[in-house]
Amino acid sequence: MSVSPSASPSVPSSVSSAASAPTQADLLDFVRRTAADRELIASLPLDPEGRTWVRLEGPGGSEAWLIGWPPGTGTGWHDHADSVGAFLTASGELKENALAARLPTDGWKTLELTDGVDRERRLPAGQGRAFGRHHVHEVLNESSDRHAISVHAYYPPLPQIRRYSRSGPILRLEQVERPEDWQ
């Protein structure tokens, strides 16, 4: 995995007050406007081997990232704990697999998922989504020859990410990462 330098380009915020927490709609608006900044998108260094990212200044104290996805890469199943979020594909196409089920937040290692909880979204350039707390998903660039670039924002700033493995209907909690693990 490659990491590009942590930069904090200033992207204007539509949140009316720094004291008010940004909503999912505010975060989605931010990622839309940021993805439209062609100069910023083009400035992300792309690595053919691993994802690259640059930290951005998000609205209202949110955490935001510009992420480059080489062909065939993905996140694996994870959630963003108590943060709400939004992301949007700026170039290329991403696929999101998600669970349409609220999972218990603590006290479990293995769950058997019921039928009908799987959701799939294709997100070509200009398409994105917002999501609530404890949203379990994986994001993939399934292209065999083209990078994708996306913009992500989370509030509150990510306290942790829980990583899961999945085998059929069985979801297993594998690891809990804290900010110091990825920053």
Q: What is the arithmetic mean of pLDDT over 7-25?
A: 59
pLDDT band at 19 (very low <50, low <70, confident <90, very high): low
Mind listing the pLDDT tens digit for each residue in 52-106?
Answer: 999 999 999 999 999 999 999 999 999 998 999 999 999 999 999 999 988 887 7
CATH of the domain at 79: 2.60.120.10
Distance (Å, rounded) from C-alpha 65 to C-alpha 113?
31
Mean pLDDT of the chain: 89
pLDDT digits (tens, 9 = 90+) for 149-172: 999 999 999 989 999 999 999 999
For the chain, give the DSSP string: ---------------S-TTSPPPHHHHHHHHHHHHT-HHHHHHS---SSS-EEEEEE-GGG-EEEEEEE-TT-B--EEE-TT-EEEEEEEESEEEEEEE-SPPPSSS-SEEEPPTT-EEEEEEETT-EEEE-TT--EEEE---SS--EEEEEEEES--S-EEEEEEETTEEEEEEEE-HHHH-
Banded model confidence at residue 12, pLDDT cuts 50, 70, 90: very low
In a domain, 62, yes or no: yes
Determine, yes or no, domain membership for 109. yes
Is residue 114 included in any domain, yes or no? yes
Identify whether 1 is part of a domain.
no
Domain membership flag for residue 100: yes
Whether 52 is in a domain gets the answer yes
Establish if 70 belongs to a structural domain. Answer: yes
pLDDT at 62: 97
pLDDT at 182 over 80: no
Domain that holds residue 161: 24-182
Q: pTM to 2 decimals?
A: 0.86
Q: Is residue 156 part of a domain?
A: yes
Question: How many domains would you assign to the chain?
Answer: 1
- The Cα 112–Cα 173 span in angstroms is 12
